[in-house]
Amino acid sequence: MIALIGMPGSGKSTVGRYLARRLGFTFFDTDQEIERRLGCSIRDYFEREGEQQFRALEETVIDELTAANRFAVISTGGGAVLRPVNRHHLHERTRVIYLHALPEDIYRRLRHDTTRPLLQTANPLERLRSLYAERDPLYRETAHFVIETGRPSVATLVNMVVMQLELGSVVPPGDKAHP
């Protein structure tokens, strides 16, 4: 099982979807799973119930997804690493890839995105810098591999991830890791 972690907008969901397809794995996005269970958007739930309630549900979803021993790629929410139990489950139960992106690169990608509750502030770039300062050490603590996202295409990022997984003997060389 492979998990992708990183800042909001670092490409976890997009890369995860393509990576899962390439490896022949099932793809799970924790945010989509949470929305499916809630029957509403994370933004609405976040506004109504607050961050702590959201983080508790996120913890449950991560525990359940990582407890299953399957061929899967899991894309986590940007704040999944804030709870120590999530960091532990991800690191011990999966091979974790940190998609490292700088706040300025993320801002360029997300500056028009109104669906991310933590970025709905007067100065989203400052908010991203603050989140990065808080979370980067936690991502690094949790990760087995760090991939610099920079500006490569999704296909290039997926190739970089697969190469790291092959070098780390997580998946065998070749396009398909599982039939």
**pLDDT tens by residue, 19-34:** 999 999 999 999 999 9
Q: Tell me the CA end-to-end span of the chain in Å, nearest whole number.
A: 15
Higher-pLDDT residue of 117 and 145 is 145
- Mean pLDDT of the 2-18 span: 94
Q: What pLDDT shows up at residue 118? A: 65
- Mean pLDDT of the 37-42 span: 90
Residue 105 CA to residue 76 CA, distance in Å, equals 19
**Residue 153 labeled ligand binder:** no
**Residue 14 labeled ligand binder:** yes
**Residue 11 labeled ligand binder:** yes
Place of tokens 């958007």: 41
Residue 178: pLDDT over 80: no
**Residue 111 labeled ligand binder:** no
> What percent of the chain shows pLDDT beyond 70?
94
Residue 176: pLDDT over 60: no
Residue 144: pLDDT over 60: yes
**Residue 151 labeled ligand binder:** no
Going by C-alpha positions, the residue among 146, 139, 135 that lies closest to residue 168 is: 146
CB of 86 within 8 A of CB of 133?
A: no
54 C-beta neighbours (distance < 10 Å), count: 20
Q: Give CA separation, 39 vs 14, 32, 52, 54, 76, in Å.
A: 22, 10, 18, 13, 19
**Residue 31 labeled ligand binder:** yes
Q: What pLDDT shows up at residue 175? A: 56
Higher-pLDDT residue of 150 and 58 is 58
Instruction: Tell me which amino acid residue 109 is.
Output: R
In the predicted model, what is the mean pLDDT of the chain? 89
Q: What pLDDT shows up at residue 50? A: 87
- Mean pLDDT of the 76-91 span: 96
The fold of the 2-167 domain, in CATH, is: Rossmann fold (3.40.50)
Size of the chain in residues: 179
Residue 177: pLDDT over 60: no
Residue 56 CA to residue 54 CA, distance in Å, equals 5
Domain ranges of the chain: 2-167
